[in-house]
Amino acid sequence: MIRWLEDERLSSAVKANMARFKATSFAKDLDESEARWRFMSWPRSSDTPMRFLLESEDHELATFTIDEGSLEYGKIEDARSHTDVVQI
């Protein structure tokens, strides 16, 4: 299940981007899954590439991209494998 952003607080560009994302099979699969997903980042303009990043309560990252040629692709990865440690 996706925790969608509150529509009344979004700009018209973000609303259009969310509608485009919501219509994809990737978003439908996430929304119908058992896991709860929340948005970490989303495109705020209609410029491409557009990238949506969501995180699940199970520490998975879902990345969905619409590139310059309007190709759409998504992937899901374990968020714990993306921890970068910087020593000072």
- The string of pLDDT tens digits covering residues 57-71 is 999 999 999 999 999
Give the residue numbers spanning the domain of 74: 2-82
The mean per-residue pLDDT over the stretch 3-14 comes to 94
Q: What average pLDDT does the structure give for the chain? A: 91
Please give the pLDDT value at position 40: 96
Q: Give rounded-to-5 percent helix, strand, coil for the chain.
A: 30, 30, 40
Q: How far is CA 74 from CA 4, 78, 84, 87, in A?
A: 18, 14, 22, 32
pLDDT over threshold 80, residue 80: no
Is 39 inside any structural domain? yes
Is 87 inside any structural domain? no
Q: How far is CA 12 from CA 3, 27, 80, in A?
A: 19, 20, 34
Is 76 inside any structural domain? yes
Is 37 inside any structural domain? yes
Is 20 inside any structural domain? yes
Q: What one-letter code names the amino acid at 70? A: S
Tens-place pLDDT, residues 23-72: 999 999 999 999 999 999 999 999 999 999 999 999 999 999 999 999 99
pTM of the shown model: 0.86
For 72, how many CA atoms within 13 A lie in the half-sphere containing its CB? 11
Number of domains in the chain: 1
Closest CA to 48 of 29, 22, 73, 23: 73
